[in-house]
Every structure is written in C-alpha cells, then in structure tokens.
Amino acid sequence: MDKPYSRTTPADALVIFGVTGDLAHKMIFPALYAMARRGALDFSVVGVAGRQWSPMQLREQVTDSIMQAGKIDDRDALEHLLSRFQYVSGDYNDPDTFKALKLALGEARHPAHYLAIPPVLFATVIKGIAASGLADGARVIVEKPFGRDLASARELNRIALSVFAEDAIFRIDHYLGKEAIMNILYFRFANSFLEPIWNRNNVASVQITLAEDFGVKGRGAFYESAGCLRDVIQNHLFQIVALLAMEPPAYQGYGAVHCEKAKIFQAMRPLLPDDVVRGQYEGYRKEPGVAKDSDVETFCALRLFIDSWRWEGVPWYLRSGKCLATTAAEVVVKLKPPPQQLFDDSRPADGLSNYLRFRLSPNSAVALAARVKRAGKEFVGDQHELYLLDEQLAEEKPYERLLSDAMAGDGALFSREDAIEAAWAAVDPVLETHHRAHAYKPGSWGPEQADALIAADGGWHNPITVKDEK
C-alpha cells in the first residue's frame, strides 16, 4: 500500500520538460551528475521535448553537457546517470505526449515536473499534466522569470495553484542556492552582536552591487524582452534585500523565513521614475536580435525605501549591469559615524568609516571595517578590514543544491507566491513609465547619472577584483 503523500515525500522521478534546451544542457545535467557522484541519484529521469531524438542522441547531449561544465572524473556515476534517462518526444499541446510520459514513468507515483521551458508554455504544460492525471502526488519546479510584471505573475500563480498546492510548487531562483547568499541569513541570526545596531538608528544606508564585465553574449533577443530590472534586480537583488532586512523568524523553519521575507517585499515603497537610473552600454544595439533604436536597459540603479519600523528612512541602493568594470557581487552596510567627532579623521571623505561588507562573488567573504590608530603621538588612523569568513571550498553548486532540495520536498530555498507578487508590486510602476536609458562605456561603472542618485550618501563603493583584494 502506498504511503500517504506529504510535502516532504521524496520525489521518485524527475520529468524535465525542455530537456533538449540550453537550461538543461548548462545547468540541470551537471547538477544531476554531481548528485550521481555523491550517490544521491536514486530516481528515474524522463526528458520531454519536441525534437525527434534517439536515446543515443540524448546520451550524447548529457555527456557533452557534463564535459563542458568541467570534467568527467567518475565514469560509474556518469553511466548510472545515463542509465536512469528516458526520452519522450511530442507536442506539448497533444494529449498523446502526456500519455507517453505516463507510460515512461511506470511505477513512479510522486514525480517532480521541471518546467525548463519558456514561460509562454507554462500554462500549456501544467494543464497537460493535470489532464493526464500526472499532478496527483506530484510537485512542479518552475524556473524564473516568474512573470514579467505583477499581472503576469498573478496569472502564472493562478494557473499553477489551480493544479498544485502552494507547497508543491518550487520556484527556482538559483541565487538563493549560493553559499554566500545562505550565509547572509546565517550570519545575521547566529550572532547576537549585530541585532543592537541592525536598524535605522545605526545604519546609514545599504548598497548592493551585482556587476558583470561581459555583455549579453548573443542573448540580445532575450534581453530586449526583459532588461536588467526584470532580469536581475526584481529577483536576485530583492532576495538579498529581504535576507538583510527581514525580522528574526518566529521559529526554526523555512515557513517562518518565508513569512518574514514576504513582509519586507510588502513594505517596499513602490518605485517612482526618479528613483531609477537606466543605462545601456555602447555597442548593445549592434547585438543580434536588438532593435536599432532600443531603449532596453543593460544597467539599472535604484534607490529603495522599506517602510517598516526597523528601516524607516534608510535608503537601499541597488545596481546591476553588464559590461561593467569587473564581475563581482557585493553588499556594503554603511554605519552612521560616531555622534561626536573627537578625531579629525574619524569621518573620511568617502563616508566609509565603519561598514560591514558581504562579498558574494566571485569569492566569498564577510568583512568588518573599522578605523585603527597609527603608531605615534598623533591621533590619526587608517581604515582596516577584519575578515570574518573567507571562501569555502568544495561547496555544492546552486543547481545541485536546489534540485536536491526540490526532489526531497525541502522548500527552504525557494520563493513563495505572496513574496513574488509583492516584489513585482514594488517595481511595477516603473516597468513602463521611466526615464530613457543613458549610454555608458563598456568597462566603466555605468552612466554618471547613477552616481548622482547616491551622491548624498557618499557615492558607490565599487567592488575590487579578487586579485586586488588579496
């Protein structure tokens, strides 16, 4: 007799819709191989797509993916993975495709359906899963973007919830699976010394930068439909904001964390056009698939306020862009200066006397900055950073961690419906109503107008390269 299904019942099969696509090739196959290497691949895998592939073609695709991601250092694990694969080809609009899928699943009763397909196909596939009886005891894994505005996010959630329970919907944002992002939550609530200063009385501002030194890499057509605000800030950077700003969870459990994060998104003051600076790197319009008169932003900086008791009046500055000076992600929590200036140099010109810095990538670190007196009779000092955590080796890759958690029914690192809709509500006013994008030179830190946005708070703290940092 089958055991009753619950949200923590492990999935006994993985169905990958869009198995012949880029996402499966770049992310999902290497994650499955990593799971096989550590003996955690104990379920069957059924790939579904429209292409007429033979089993050998699928094996070649999986093997090629793993080789491009690194190296094949465990042939037994690779063979184990390949032996688990089946392939179903067919049109997602054709009920026979789902009948063939049901046949391929065999004795599996709790499949996880991974929608590695364009969002426009989500509704079609979810309805096909429901009509074929493959939603009972199952869960669905949805890849971002979760809509492109508030209205589409609500519609996507409505369709998913018409078939699956909320705790059976796993919305993947790979940023939440990164070790450095998880450490923000741990560092905040595992250490008591932060709580007395983690509020509007002591924090002057917060900066979050996610910079990339490369362009759209041939994905111009995709970027034309998204832009930096939708692609990076509304999800990745907002998730970081929530982890930094949330109240302590009421109990130990991911449900409590989700509730507190959702409250932060709900407390975000809706953006106005003057809160946002949009930029476009010179040469973007020459990319394939990009309109000659495109106004899509490849850079976005914004000033955000959270209308809560803890954060009232504290500005949060977020920026992200392509073709910037380096590739790095970093958070700087700037603390207010001492109330009385006893020493002439205790308030440096750059405004960064004391701060906490979370380095998220490419290396991981937490650092606390303070001023220390120089040797001698004069009361002058220098800025020094105390490193509290450096990069950890042999960590799980985000997709391996998230896929493992989804298969196990652990929803801690996934996004919830109310949080997604609240995040869209904060940016919705400026998705269509905004100032034109300003041109900026590749290799710079974006348009100079972004500097004016934060000038009153001492300017941006530009991440330095790993080489310079060491």
pLDDT in tens, 374-402: 887 788 777 788 887 766 655 678 899 99
Element (DSSP H or E) covering residue 244: helix 238-245
The residues near 400 (Cβ < 8 Å, ≥ 6 apart) are 30, 31, 34, 35
Q: What is the reported pLDDT for 384? A: 80
468 has a pLDDT exceeding 90:
no
Sign of CA dihedral 439, 444, 446, 451: negative
- Rounded Cα distance, 333 and 91, in Å: 50
**Quick check: 136 and 105 in contact, CB under 8 A?**
no
pLDDT for 299 beyond 80: yes
Count of CA atoms in the C-beta half-sphere (13 A) of 136? 8
Burial class (CB in 10 A: 0-12, 13-18, 19+), 137: middle
How far apart (Å, rounded) are the C-alpha atoms in residues 437 and 434?
9
Would strands 365-373 and 381-389 be described as parallel, antiparallel, or unpaired? Answer: antiparallel
Tell me, yes or no, if the pTM score tops 0.85: yes
CA distance 395 to 373: 38
Question: Which residues does residue 371 pair with via DSSP β-bridges, in sequence order?
Answer: 383
Nearest CA among 387, 414, 382 for reference residue 398:
414
Interval 55-63 mean pLDDT: 92
Q: Which helix (H) or strand (E) holds 59?
A: helix 55-69
Alpha helices in 309-416 (DSSP H): 398-408
Using omega within 30 degrees of 0 as the cis cutoff, is the peptide bond preceding 145 cis? yes
Give the amino acid at 369: A
Phi, psi for 255 (deg, rounded to 5)? -60, -40
- pLDDT given for residue 349 in this prediction: 60
Instruction: Give residues with Cβ within 8 angstroms of 193, minimum separation 6.
Output: none
| CA gap 305, 316 in Å, rounded | 6
Please name which of 130, 52, 51, 124 lies closest in space to residue 93, comparing C-alpha atoms. Answer: 124
Contact between 110 and 138 (Cβ < 8 Å)? yes
- State residue 294 phi and psi, 5-degree precision: -55, 140
Q: Tell me which residues are annotated as active site.
A: 236
Q: Give the confidence band of 1 by pLDDT, cuts at 50, 70, 90.
A: very low
Residue with tokens 């790939």: 47
CA 87 to chain centre: 30
**6 — pLDDT class (breaks 50, 70, 90):** low
Lowest mean pLDDT among 27-41, 111-125, 349-363, 437-451: 349-363
Render pLDDT for 132-153 as a digit per residue (tens, 0 to 9): 999 999 999 998 778 889 999 9
Integer Cα distance of 454 and 224 in angstroms:
27
Tokens 């391996």: give the residue: 400
pLDDT surpassing 70 at residue 99:
yes
3 state DSSP class of 365: strand
CA distance 362 to 73: 24
Query: What's the whole-number mean pLDDT along residues 195-213?
Result: 96
Confidence bin at 236 (pLDDT 50/70/90): very high
pLDDT score at 467: 47
3-state DSSP assignment of residue 386:
strand
Number of H helices, E strands in the chain: 16, 15
Report the distance separating Cα 76 and Cα 37, nearest Å: 8
> Rounded CA gap, 423 and 264, in Å?
9
Q: How far apart are CA 148 and CA 166, in angstroms?
A: 20
Report which of 332, 409, 405 is spatially closest to residue 174, judged by C-alpha positions: 405
What distance in Å separates the CA atoms of residue 162 and residue 147, rounded to the nearest whole number? 17
Give me the amino acid identity at 173.
D
- Give me the count of residues in the chain: 470
Instruction: Tell me the per-residue pLDDT of 150-169, one tens digit each, with 9 for 90 and over.
Output: 999 999 999 999 999 999 99
Lowest mean pLDDT among 259-268, 279-288, 383-392: 383-392
